[in-house]
Amino acid sequence: MEANRISEIIKANLEIITVSLLAITLIIIWIYLSRVFKTEAMKNQREAVELSIYYIDRFNSTVLPHYQNYKVNVSNLAYDDFDHISDYTGIHDFQKEYPLTILQVVERKKMNVEKSLHDLDIIATAILHGQLDQEIFIKLCGREFCEAVEVYYDMILHIRRENPEAFGQIITIYKDWRKRFAEVKTPKKKM
């Protein structure tokens, strides 16, 4: 009888010890995983900020000077026509016809507008896929991004006539961001 009682006490204590060790192990695993996830989240945020800085630099060194030069040197831009682009609300219709003559298309292509549109598209795609910190990009060059879209509007329409899906990412970002800015147009300056 005494042996049974001792056996039950040992068994009960072993169960308590086992449950306690299991609880301690689970707590340690939870603490470890929360630290790993927190570290990973900080790493991802840091990478997004670093990529944002890279793409902002890319935008500022390629698209920005190009569209400013383009805006000054290309004639008959839809950008200058308030029937197409409101100074305060921007562009509402990316399906509209904006006929360009062959000479106007040649003039625009000589300015290598497709490369800048391609750069804008890459940036928009990176933003839409969460590779960049969108808020940083908006704060540092969101207004200029929107103005670039407005400056290139006639060529965007021209290219979309042949490929209606072209520049979809640019348009998505533009429509989302443009409402944040009351005005994006800047005065024309000779380059």
125-171 confidence digits (pLDDT tens): 999 998 888 888 899 899 999 999 988 998 998 998 888 899 999 99
- Residue 3's pLDDT band, with cuts at 50, 70 and 90, is confident
Of 88, 73, 56, nearest to 190 by C-alpha is 73
Rounded Cα distance, 38 and 149, in Å: 37
DSSP state of 61: I
Rounded Cα distance, 168 and 166, in Å: 6
Q: What is the pLDDT of residue 172?
A: 93
Please count the other Cβ atoms lying within 10 Å of the Cβ belonging to residue 162: 7
Of 131, 122, 121, nearest to 51 by C-alpha is 131
Please count the other Cβ atoms lying within 10 Å of the Cβ belonging to residue 13: 10
Per residue in 74-87, pLDDT (tens digit) is: 877 777 766 666 65
What DSSP string describes 109-139?
A: HHTTHHHHHHHHHHHHHHHHTTSS-HHHHHH
Instruction: Write down the residue that tokens 């009888």 correspond to.
Output: 1
What DSSP string describes 11-59?
A: HHHHHHHHHHHHHHHHHHHHHHHHHHHHHHHHHHHHHHHHHHHHHHHHI
Residue 191 pLDDT more than 60? no
**Mean pLDDT for the stretch of residues 96-123:** 88
Per residue in 44-91, pLDDT (tens digit) is: 778 877 888 888 898 899 999 998 888 888 877 777 766 666 656 677
Global pTM reads: 0.73
- What is the widest separation between alpha-carbon atoms in the chain? 108
48 and 109 in contact (C-beta within 8 Å)? no
